[in-house]
Structure 1
Amino acid sequence: MVHRVVALALLAGVTALAAGCADQPGRPPVEHHPLMYRTYAGDVVAPRAPPPFVIEAVKPRPGYVWAHSYSRWDGHGYVSVPGQWIPEKPDCRYVDARWEQHRDGWHFRPGHWVSL
């Protein structure tokens, strides 16, 4: 008898939960995201590895930092983006654009400034 009561209570709870998951008019559907969604939301993810990184030999230029060239994923393949000089920012260090390998592919990290 106790088992029957517990089973009915569990069935009622599961039914209530399932009913709450159904689309309800006037309410937006619930979106479930992976744990690191906010970190990687808006990422460019390529299915294959980028071409090898090429280090360009440039002479120092006072007041500027060299942002190295990189490969951009256009949805079908990689496209080369040339390096460029960008004005220095005081008390900051520039981090070049790069690709990072994750389980779902290669994620692009754009170049950015980091405070010292």
Structure 2
Amino acid sequence: MTFPIRTLAALAAAGLAFGAATYTPPAAAREYVSVTVGTRPPPPRWERVPPPRAGYVWAPGYWNWYGGRYVWVGGHWYAGRPGYVYRPPVWRPYGHGWRIERETWYRDPHWHR
């Protein structure tokens, strides 16, 4: 009777060892593309900001670099994230050009549940 139990235990151990040896965790879905442009972006366009919506954050429009030129991306709503603050994209001087810092959400240090 102990022979089948030992065999099953050995098979289970071998299966666990094989699974642990072949497991690869999923890659983090994070990408970052740095864009540096030689010319200053145009001034922001005027946009009518809609009235506030409960549970949403307004993301203002901005100039994006696409296809070798600046392209306007209109403002839009994002679902709010409790405990986080939205930071819109911004172009900053970088060396002899301009670099965009993409939009992001960062942890609100003053937020308490």
Scaled to the shorter chain, the TM-score interval is: 0.5 to 0.7
- Which segments of 5 or more consecutive residues in structure 1 lack a partner in the other structure? 1-40
Partner of 1:66: 58
Alignment partner of 1:49 out of 40, 57, 64: 40
Equivalent pair of 2:59/2:78 in contact (CA under 8 Å): yes
Q: Say if 1:65 and 1:55 are closer, same or farther in 2 by CA, change over 3 A.
A: farther
Shift, 1:103, TM fit:
1.3
Q: For each residue in 1:72-112, what CA deviation from the matched residue of structure 2 results, as whole angstroms up to 9, or x when unmatched?
A: 11242100111110000011110011101111311011111
Instruction: Give the aligned residue type for 1:72.
Output: N
For residue 71 of structure 2, what is the aligned residue in structure 1? 79
Tell whether the 8 Å contact from 2:36 to 2:94 is kept in structure 1 after alignment.
no
Q: Unpaired runs of 5+ in structure 2? A: 1-31, 109-113
2: CA distance between counterparts of 1:98 and 1:110? 7
Share of identical aligned residues, percent? 34
TM-score (norm 2): 0.61
CA distance in 2, matches of 1:100, 1:55: 20
Tell me whether 74-83 or 89-98 shows the greater mean CA deviation: 74-83
Letter in 2 for 1:95: R
Higher deviation after alignment, 96-105 or 51-60: 51-60
Structure 1 stretches of 4+ with a deviation exceeding 4 A read none
Deviation at 1:51, TM superposition (A): 1.0
Give the letter aligned to residue 36 of structure 2.
Answer: V
